[in-house]
Chains A and B, each alone.
Chain A
Amino acid sequence: MKNSLFRHEVVPLLAMFIFLMGATTTGEYLLEMFGFVWIGRYLGIPGTLLIILSLTYSLRKRKYISSGNPQKLLRMHELLTWLGALLVLVHAGSHFNTILPWLALIAMVVNLISGMIGRYLLGRSRQHMMAKQESYKTRGLSKVEIDKELFWDAVTFQLMEKWRVVHFPISFIFAVLALGHIISILMFWEWR
Chain B
Amino acid sequence: MKKSIKLIIVINLLAVTALTILYAHKMVSPGKLIAGHQSFEKNCFDCHTLFVGISERKCIKCHELSKIGLFDTKGNKLDKKAKKTTRPFHHELRDGYCVEYHTDHAGMIVYRRFDYADELEKIALEEARKQGKPEMLHLFRQRFSHGLIKETKRKVCTICHEEQKDDKHRNFSKDCGQCHTFDKWKPAKFNHDMIMLPKRNDCMACHKKELPKDIVHRNAPTDCKQCHTFDKWKPAKFNHDFETFPELLNCIACHKPKQPRDIIHRNASDQCGLCHSAEKWKPALFKHEIDKFPEIENCIACHKPIEPVDIIHRNASQKCGQCHSFDNWKTKTFEHDLVSFPELKQCTACHKNKKPDDTMHRNVTQECGQCHGTKKWKPATYNHDRFFVFDKHHKRCTTCHRIPSYKKPDYKKYTCYFCHAHSKGGIRASHRKKGMRNINKCTDCHRNTSKREAKKAWESIKRGIPYQFPWLKGKTR
Q: Which residues of A line the B interface, CB within 8 A? A: 35-38, 40-41, 93, 95, 97-101, 103, 165, 168-169, 172-173, 176-177, 180-181, 184, 186-192
User: How many chain B residues touch A (Cβ–Cβ < 8 Å)?
Assistant: 35
Q: Is B9 an interface residue (CB 8 A)?
A: yes
B115 adjacent to A36 (CB under 8 Å): yes
B16 adjacent to A100 (CB under 8 Å): yes
B113 adjacent to A188 (CB under 8 Å): no
Given contacts A97-B105, A177-B13, 11 further A-B contacts (CB under 8 A): A35-B115, A38-B110, A38-B113, A98-B29, A103-B16, A181-B28, A188-B50, A190-B53, A190-B54, A191-B51, A191-B53
B186 to chain A, nearest CB (A): 26
B5 adjacent to A169 (CB under 8 Å): yes
A184 adjacent to B28 (CB under 8 Å): yes
Q: How far is the CA of A190 from the CA of B30 in the complex (A)?
A: 14
B27 adjacent to A100 (CB under 8 Å): yes
Q: How far is the CA of A168 from the CA of B116 in the complex (A)?
A: 43
5 A-B pairs closest in CB distance: A97-B107, A35-B115, A190-B53, A184-B28, A97-B31
Q: Which residue of A lies closest to B47 (CB)?
A: A188
Q: Is B245 an interface residue (CB 8 A)?
A: no
A98 adjacent to B52 (CB under 8 Å): no
Contacts of A186 in B (CB 8 A): 51
Q: Which residue of A lies closest to B106 (CB)?
A: A97
Q: A38-B112, A190-B99 are in contact. Are A98 and B27 (CB under 8 A)?
A: yes
Q: Which of B26, B115, B117 contacts A98 (CB 8 A)?
A: B26
Contacts of A192 in B (CB 8 A): 52-53, 97
Q: Which of A35, A93, A168, A173 contacts B13 (CB 8 A)?
A: A173
Contacts of B117 in A (CB 8 A): 35
Q: Which residue of B lies closest to A41 (CB)?
A: B111
Q: Which residue of B lies closest to A39 (CB)?
A: B111
A138 to chain B, nearest CB (A): 38
Give 19 pairs: A residue, B residue, CB < 8 Å, sorted on A.
A36-B115, A37-B110, A38-B111, A41-B111, A95-B110, A97-B107, A98-B31, A100-B20, A100-B27, A165-B1, A168-B1, A169-B6, A173-B9, A181-B28, A184-B20, A188-B28, A188-B50, A190-B99, A191-B51
A97 adjacent to B30 (CB under 8 Å): yes
Q: How far is the CA of A97 from the CA of B41 in the complex (A)?
A: 13
Q: Is B17 an interface residue (CB 8 A)?
A: yes
Q: Is B386 an interface residue (CB 8 A)?
A: no
Q: A38-B111, A100-B20, A172-B9 are in contact. Are A191 and B28 (CB under 8 A)?
A: no
Q: Is B44 an interface residue (CB 8 A)?
A: yes
Q: Is B48 an interface residue (CB 8 A)?
A: yes
Contacts of A98 in B (CB 8 A): 26-31, 107
Q: How far is the CA of A177 from the CA of B31 in the complex (A)?
A: 19
Contacts of A181 in B (CB 8 A): 28
Q: Which residue of A lies closest to B112 (CB)?
A: A38
Binary interface profile of B, 78-106, with partner A (CB < 8 Å = 1, else 0)? 00000000000000000001010000011
Q: A97-B30, A100-B28 are in contact. Are A180 and B16 (CB under 8 A)?
A: yes
A99 to chain B, nearest CB (A): 5
Q: How far is the CA of A187 from the CA of B30 in the complex (A)?
A: 13
B27 adjacent to A37 (CB under 8 Å): no
Contacts of A191 in B (CB 8 A): 51-53
Q: How far is the CA of A97 from the CA of B108 in the complex (A)?
A: 9
Contacts of B99 in A (CB 8 A): 190
Q: How far is the CA of A37 from the CA of B110 in the complex (A)?
A: 6
Q: How far is the CA of A165 from the CA of B13 in the complex (A)?
A: 18
B13 adjacent to A99 (CB under 8 Å): no
Q: Which residue of B lies closest to A164 (CB)?
A: B1
Contacts of B5 in A (CB 8 A): 169
Q: How far is the CA of A168 from the CA of B9 in the complex (A)?
A: 11
Contacts of B51 in A (CB 8 A): 186-187, 189, 191
Q: How far is the CA of A93 from the CA of B107 in the complex (A)?
A: 11
A35 adjacent to B28 (CB under 8 Å): no
B107 adjacent to A95 (CB under 8 Å): yes
Contacts of B107 in A (CB 8 A): 95, 97-98
Q: Which of B27, B53, B106, B113 contacts A99 (CB 8 A)?
A: B27
A169 adjacent to B112 (CB under 8 Å): no
Q: How far is the CA of A188 from the CA of B110 in the complex (A)?
A: 18
Q: How far is the CA of A95 from the CA of B110 in the complex (A)?
A: 10
Binary interface profile of B, 211-223, with partner A (CB < 8 Å = 1, else 0)? 0000000000000
A106 to chain B, nearest CB (A): 12
Contacts of B16 in A (CB 8 A): 100, 103, 176-177, 180
